Chains A and B, each alone.
Chain A
Amino acid sequence: MPTILRELTGIEAASTRYMGLHVATKILIPLFLSISILFTKDPLAAISLIVISALTCKLAGIPLSAMKKYVVVIGSMTSFIALSFVLFAHLPGRVFYEATLLRIEAEKGVFEWKILVTDTALSYAATFIARIFAMVLTAILLLGTVTDRDFVWGLRSVGLPFGACVAASLFFRGIQLFVSDFMTIREAMSARGVDFERTSLARRFLLYANALIPLLSLMITRSYEMSLALEARGIAPSTRAKAVYHRFAFRRRDLGITLTYLAVMMAFILWWLLW
């Protein structure tokens, strides 16, 4: 069963013991790491979190080459953050470099816009950048180890009603159908002479707005057909499952690992509170 990461990017995790963990464990670990990100306020804490997330990815068998896909995005965000702290924040601290870009003297005072590189600005920028890296790693960890089936059966195993689980499965199915329909409609527009690459942004927006008509029509038709098919199988929103086929045991190993990552999260919270 392909993980969500594999469906989206084609990157597949190796078969490791991590993949055999209970689905709740595989969802809770990235959740604890994500919460930890909120409690990192200095570069050291953020870098520690990167190391922990990267090691967890490694344990899970996810190739870190998956990060390559996000290098451009992370690179541009990093530059933007660094520039923001240097050009606009004017954070006090030990000054490494200072230059005035604009100076206006008026009756009510002086307006100055300057580049100010201080140790605080660099520390803040480094923390933010490291947090982004940690976030990307955590997202890769979740998507690389969990399938949409895991989500559905995971929800079932923690007691969510049958109807809600069917709805969750339909949600994932709906996304796939929506994307595939959109691509086909775009292709049909091209077949009628639309050149998306040479079309202005405004015109492209109008064309995409037009695409909403067939998308809507298809969504209605598909929802109708799917609901008829589900009803024909005796499944209605009020249907209750009187038996459960898949039973996933939450073993000691799952408990131990979950508690470990909970402890990691608590440690980051303490770090944030005490330092």
Chain B
Amino acid sequence: MVKAIEAREVRWKYLGREEPALRGLSLSVEKGEFVAIMGPSGAGKTTFVLTLNGTIPQRLPGDFSGSVKVLGMDTREHDVTELARKVAIVFEDPEMQFVMTTVEDEIVLGLEPLGLSREEMEERIKWSLDLVGLSKDFLDRHPYQLSGGEKQRVAIATALARHPEVLVLDEPTSDLDPQGKEEVVSAIRRVRDELDITVILVEHESEIVAEFADRVIVLREGKVFLEGEPREVFAKAKELKEIGVYPPETAEISARLELSSIALSAEELAEALKGKVSINQVRREADDGASRRLVARCVSIEYVYPGGIKALRGVNLEVREGEFIALVGPNGSGKTTLAKVMAGLLTPTKGDVLIAGRSVKEYGRAELARLVGYVHQNPDHQLFCQKVYDEVAFGLRLLGLPEDEVKRRVEEVLKLVNLSGLEDEHPFFLSKGEKRRLALASVYALNPRLLIVDEPTTGQDRGFCDRIMALLKALTRDGKAVIVITHSIPIAAKYADRIVVLKSGKVIADGSPRDILASRAVEEGRLIIPQTLKVSRLLGLNGRYAPLTPDEFVRAVSLTC
């Protein structure tokens, strides 16, 4: 029987790159299977996806060997447009997939070349939108005005409307807030339950993989590292974490407690542990926050965008030295606006921000940049010099520091972010992770007392997230205050001293991760709580004293039989 996908010894090196992206990758997928592909950044996941519709090797320059057959069609022999009729790919960033100005036109764009009748096109538009949970009211909406989850569902609908036999979803949830993620996950659930098609899901989030996949393939350095059923693969938690792939927290706990079966959900783990363990309450750290010096204070801040959208509605917030704050909340809740107001990039419509006791309006730009650093989400927006060295030196030179002082500071900061030796490199040619660290270094070089980092973990593998968060945590030990905007509650719970939850431009909760995750803010802010906490609750432990991370859980638990 013809397999849906059959890759044999696939090797691919992008033109101009020293290292190959795929190094003898072999795998096969049966028709109707739901296969998840995981792996650290740079493992070759997206490159492999591009071989499935022939973009590699037909459209991109590079060296290719081996073979990829999709539904029996060799991707070197059939044109991309022909393969695209059978294989639909949905990429990570929905915005980059939209060309037209209404949802209807966007779906129609892919249907007109198929030569369908108008009635058939109408039927398919309705069917595909319905499948991803969008009503026909969306037809006239502009794709760019939709929320993240809606955009990605429209992208999935445009793919499904073509009735592909293979659907490839390349990190469809990575740019989304928890609500958007939930919407897309529901759409994937319906695709799996209602359609008889082969699905390839590339995903970093192992909880999503564990819910859907029949089989998991883990890639590393361009080849298959591990392969098997989710339970089988996630049992190897230690090996996976070593390469930056984090299994579901429940699987990690199961493996570390040496349980006979690997649990893939909180319910499964709680069931397995019920009556067999006692959990000690986690000791709450003493809070010395109030005694620390105040760095920034937001007083009743309101901000209205020129179009009349009220982004902030009376925000009060205090930030103290050495604090690590996670700013969380759904998209559009005002997180980035608040950060920009605090950095003096936006002037509040009402209220004031006091930095080191003085109003932000009283500072000059350069003076303020020395006190509050703001790192944008996309490093490509922030790197504009010809050399890595000049990028870090840019702000220091603006301050008029002597060149030997600039040199000393640049070397120190590059060492801190592990970019020493790349001083003469053009920022354009750095890897994604290096760019992100350079963007951070270029702001941190000014030695700000408050550093605000906008979504540093979005779209990154968990290994990278841990490295960048550990780096930021280290800065707080030197007395810097750090605010990180993030959608990842497990990461916030692991690193932050405080979580501030924003919703509709208001702070709805502010406190320690333990207090926040035990409060109503979880429901109000639509936060997704870590699996470990869910297990603790199912086992009857009070939220405020319950373990939040697998490490805490394993330390707190003792097997009674």
Contact = CB atoms under 8 A, between A and B. Distances in A.
B106 to A, nearest CB: 10
Interface string A171-182: 011001000010
A164 interface: no
Interface in A156-171: 162, 166, 169-170
Interface string B121-159: 100000000000000000010101000000000000011
Nearest to B54: A231
A220 B364 CA distance: 35
B158 A233 contact: yes
Interface of A: 1-2, 10, 147-149, 152-153, 162, 166, 169-170, 172-173, 176, 181, 184-185, 187-195, 198, 210-211, 213-214, 217-218, 221-222, 225-226, 228-236, 239-246
Interface in B365-393: 365-366, 368-370, 373-374, 376, 378, 380-386
A234 B164 CA distance: 11
Given A229-B91, A229-B97, A232-B91, A241 B112 contact: yes
Given A1-B101, A213-B386, A225-B93, A234 B113 contact: yes
Interface of B: 50, 53, 55, 59, 80-81, 84-85, 87-89, 91, 93, 96-102, 105, 108-118, 121, 140, 142, 144, 158-159, 162, 306-307, 340, 343, 345, 364-366, 368-370, 373-374, 376, 378, 380-386, 394-395, 398-399, 428, 442-443, 446
6 contacts: A191-B373, A191-B376, A193-B365, A222-B96, A226-B99, A232-B89
A2 B98 CA distance: 17
Contact of B112 (A195, A218, A245): A245
A contact patch SS: helix
B366 A193 contact: yes
Given A173-B99, A191-B345, A233-B88, 20 more contacts: A184-B376, A184-B381, A187-B345, A187-B376, A191-B376, A192-B382, A193-B370, A193-B399, A210-B385, A218-B380, A225-B93, A228-B50, A231-B81, A234-B80, A235-B113, A236-B80, A242-B113, A243-B111, A243-B112, A245-B121
Given A149-B101, A192-B398, A232-B53, A210 B384 contact: yes
B101 A148 contact: yes
Contacts of A228: 50, 55, 91
B384 A245 contact: no
A244 B140 CA distance: 18
A162 B112 contact: yes
A234 B365 contact: no
A236 B80 CA distance: 9
A162 B399 contact: no
Contacts of A194: 365-366, 398
Contacts of B446: 192-193
Chain B CB within 10 A, most for which of A211, A218, A244, A245: A245
A242 B120 CA distance: 13
Nearest to B81: A234
